[in-house]
Amino acid sequence: MATLTALVIGVYALAATIYLGYLLGRSMSGGAVAERARAVGVAHAVLAAGVGLHLCDIGARCLHGVNPISSTPEAMSLVAFLIAAGYFLASLRYRLAAAGAFAVPAALASLVLARVVPAEADAPHMSSLGQVHILLAVIGVAVFALAAVLALLYLFEDRQLKRKQFERMMGRGTPLETLDRLALRCVSVGFPVFTVAIVTGAIWVARLGLLRQAAALRPEYLFALATWAAFGVLLIARVGAGWRGRRAAWLTLGGFGGAMLVVLTYFLRHAA
Nearest CB to another protein, comparing residues 170 and 229? 170
- The least CB distance from residue 23 to another protein, in Å, is 14
CB of 22 to another protein, least distance (A): 15
User: Whose Cβ is closer to another protein: residue 89's or residue 170's?
Assistant: 170
Rounded to an integer, what distance in angstroms lies between the CA atom of residue 56 and that of residue 110? 17
Provide the binding-site residues for another protein, judged by CB under 8 A.
Answer: 28-34, 157, 161-162, 164, 166-167, 169-171, 173, 175-178, 241-248
Task: For the CB of residue 36, give the shortest distance to another protein in the complex, in Å.
Answer: 10
| Residue from 66, 87, 189 nearest 139 by CA | 189
Task: Tell the smallest beta-carbon distance from residue 161 to another protein (Å).
Answer: 5
Please report how close the Cβ of residue 248 comes to another protein at its closest, in angstroms. 7
Q: CB atoms < 10 A from the CB of 4, how many?
A: 16
Three-state SS string over the chain comes to CHHHHHHHHHHHHHHHHHHHHHHHCCCCCCCHHHHHHHHHHHHHHHHHHHHHHHHHHHHHHHHCCCCCCCCHHHHHHHHHHHHHHHHHHHHHHCCCHHHHHHHHHHHHHHHHHHHHCCCCCCCCCCCHHHHHHHHHHHHHHHHHHHHHHHHHHHHHHHHHHHCCCHHHHCCCCCCHHHHHHHHHHHHHHHHHHHHHHHHHHHHHHHHCCCCCCHHHHCHHHHHHHHHHHHHHHHHHHHHHCCCCHHHHHHHHHHHHHHHHHHHHHHHHHHHC
- Cβ distance to another protein smaller for residue 74 or 180: 180
> Which is nearer to another protein, 1 or 32 (by Cβ)?
32
Residue 41 to residue 97: CA distance in whole angstroms: 9
Cα gap 83→241, rounded to integer Å: 29
By beta-carbon proximity to another protein, the closer residue of 126 and 176 is: 176
Q: How far is the CB of 1 from another protein (least distance, A)?
A: 43
**Least CB distance to another protein at residue 31 (A):** 6
Smallest gap from residue 87 Cβ to another protein (A): 19
Nearer Cβ to another protein (27/265): 27
Nearer to another protein, 53 or 182 (CB): 182
Taking the least distance from each CB to another protein, the nearer of 243 and 267 is 243
